[in-house]
Structure 1
Amino acid sequence: MIQAGIAGGAGYTAGELIRILVNHPHVELNFVYSTSNAGNLLSDVHQDLLGSTEIRFSDTINTEVDVLFLCLGHGTSKRFLEENHFTEKTVIIDLSNDFRLKADTEFQGREFIYGLTELNRDKIKQACSIANPGCFATAIQLALLPLAENKLISDAVHITGVTGATGAGTSLSDTTHYTWRDNNFSYYKAFTHQHLGEIYQTLSSLQRNFDQKVHFLPHRGNFSRGIFVTAYTKYDGSLEDAKALYSDFYKDAPFTFVSEKELHLKQVVNTNKCFLHVHKEDGMLLITSIIDNLTKGASGQAVENMNLIFGLPQTEGLNLKANFF
């Protein structure tokens, strides 16, 4: 059994990770670290876990676990690793943005591999440290990878993305409070979202001398889970060419699928899947990409990475059913 630890166990991402790991056939949850909840049952915070586990939050850490998942706030993973020294055999999977960009991949003698499995599967299999992609970055990159791989992004890309309330974390703010969010809709961080750095980095790695603008406008939706992305750019090929391009690129991806039909969020919420749909109109290719921000956009993708590193099927523990009705 893979001995797994989680640091930062009280948030939405950690809760989703715990749910996956306690049901994973090859994993034993060794500890869930949370100073604010030490001694409390996991089910006291993540209340749906009642009856699934009797594990309690811990304020101590086992530095010899096989895999450590960092579910800490952005900017704090480095400090945590500086204060807690894990053995060289411990695989570290960071779900924050601390190690995603090339300038940050080298740390304490480790090289953090960018954990987008559809892009870096072979590198991930050989890795000991993973920088898990951001949720919006995952949905957007999966929408654009086939175009970049074939050097077909020749003009600006325009993207609109809508995320559920869980994307903002558990801490309350004016824009996450129920009375503000309910029956409401707004944009934020117009054209400056923090995930743009990793998106540009990936596109540039696939399409040499990539110099097109990526205009991304994120929105807050009045629902709990899911990301709905639409991206469009100029495209000279036919719709049939585009469909073939996307189907071929993802033919071996166990969680990413190209749909002939238009998409809606309920198809993927509570799953580790990404669904894509392509449409062409007036020389513009429109790509729709949908994921669950907490699974494929965070914890599920982290478990994908763990599975690949430990030689397990990529889908192990991740065959989750959508809450379709």
Structure 2
Amino acid sequence: MKKIKVGIIGGAGYTAGELIRLLINHPETVIDFVFSTSNAGNKISKVHQDLVGDMDLKFTNTVNPEVDVLFLCLGHGNSVKFLENHTFSEQTRIIDLGNDFRLKSDKVFQGKSFVYGLPELQKEAIKSAQYIANPGCFATAIQLALLPLAEKGLLNNDVHINAVTGATGAGTSLSATTHYTWRDNNFSYYKPFMHQHLGEINQSVKLLQNTFSSEILFMPNRGNFSRGIFATMYTDFEGTLEEAKAIFKDFYKDAKFTFISDDDLHLKQVVNTNKCFIHLHKHNNKLLITSIIDNLLKGASGQAVQNMNLMFGLEETTGLRLKATYF
């Protein structure tokens, strides 16, 4: 079988670095180019230094419009600008890791429609799609925790969410809250109740439960660790814990990377993997749902490769059987 020829745009960031690591070890892909205007001419391994000895490819400021698949690893709002200024073949499939095309109001671009790429929600649509809007990291962890209840029409009250992300969630650019001396031994919230991922979360919930009219109250936090998302949320649930577990296990019975755990969770179970683990706990009439993912993999680059596998008819787990960084 001819290997899938890949182009990557915005190659110097954390998500692009993870994507490169996955694709150079993927048995069905070959990286054709990695685009970065700020690093053009430099070896990729000079920026992503763990790749020394793995690849000699250099960053470029030109593109090959005939690649089979294009990954956009650009800052939010920049994918539209890039595609307006660069043309690719009619056969090129595009996977955008930013938020430019995730909402229904933004999904149509130059006459073509982006499919929202959460495999556990839209696997069949992803298989036949040409353009994919990869979900956000917080959005992935939270949706995977809520969608089984939405499918049963059981989200009839407000959902309260507290979630913590690692420092890599802020990207590579320095700011007042990403310097080591600020982040170390520190903890803070940001964008309370107003995080940009709420739009896609509400959109997916309403896709399965169109009567949903309650609030999703989301408090995002910055954690003192490099990678991962630990999300807890609770809402009213009148059934038993066993009934809740049955709903979740049935919803994910065919999922390749989402698993329901009977044991309490901790973040190292999923760091460096494309997995999502979910744990359920019942207290009086409240159902507590814990969801954990690696924000750079299941929350970004790993999910993008999962979507690529589906689009090209590959086994969904190809290139994604990764070992957790457990110790």
Q: How many residues were matched structurally?
A: 325
TM normalised by structure 1 equals: 1.00
Letter in 2 for 1:172: L
Match for residue 4 of structure 1 among 3, 6, 9: 6
Q: Which residue of 2 aligns with 1:51?
A: 53
Q: Which residue of 2 aligns with 1:38?
A: 40
Instruction: Percent identity, please.
Output: 68
Q: Which residue of 2 aligns with 1:87?
A: 89
Task: Give CA-to-partner distance per residue, 1:47-86, whole Å, 9 cap, x none.
Answer: 0011111111011100110000000110010010010011
Letter in 1 for 2:30: E
TM normalised by structure 2 equals: 0.99
The alpha carbon displacement at 1:88 in A equals 1.1
Letter in 2 for 1:299: S
Residue 125 of structure 2: SS of its match in structure 1? helix
RMSD of Structure 2 on Structure 1 (CA):
0.4
Residue 298 of structure 2: SS of its match in structure 1? helix
Q: Which residue of 2 aligns with 1:19?
A: 21
Q: Which residue of 1 aligns with 2:323?
A: 321
The alpha carbon displacement at 1:148 in A equals 0.3
The alpha carbon displacement at 1:209 in A equals 2.0
Q: Which residue of 2 aligns with 1:289?
A: 291
Q: Which residue of 2 aligns with 1:219?
A: 221
Q: Which residue of 2 aligns with 1:113?
A: 115
Match for residue 255 of structure 2 among 253, 256, 265: 253
Describe how 1:100-249 pairs up with structure 2 within 5 A. 100-249=102-251
Letter in 2 for 1:164: G
The alpha carbon displacement at 1:109 in A equals 1.9
Task: Give CA-to-partner distance per residue, 1:254-278, whole Å, 9 cap, x none.
Answer: 0000000000000000000000000
1:69 aligns with 2:71: yes
The alpha carbon displacement at 1:30 in A equals 0.3
Q: Which residue of 1 aligns with 2:311?
A: 309
Tell me the distance in 1 between the aligned counterparts of 2:211 and 2:282.
Answer: 26
Residue 54 of structure 1: SS of its match in structure 2? coil
Tell me the distance in 2 between the aligned counterparts of 1:139 and 1:169.
Answer: 18
Segments of structure 2 that go 5 or more residues without pairing to the other structure are none
Letter in 1 for 2:212: F
Segments of structure 1 that go 5 or more residues without pairing to the other structure are none
**Superposed structure 1 runs of 4+ greater than 2 Å apart:** none
Q: Which residue of 1 aligns with 2:98?
A: 96
Tell me the distance in 2 between the aligned counterparts of 1:189 and 1:293.
Answer: 18
Residue 74 of structure 1: SS of its match in structure 2? coil
Residue 313 of structure 1: SS of its match in structure 2? coil
Tell me the distance in 2 between the aligned counterparts of 1:221 and 1:117.
Answer: 27
Tell me the distance in 2 between the aligned counterparts of 1:169 and 1:177.
Answer: 12
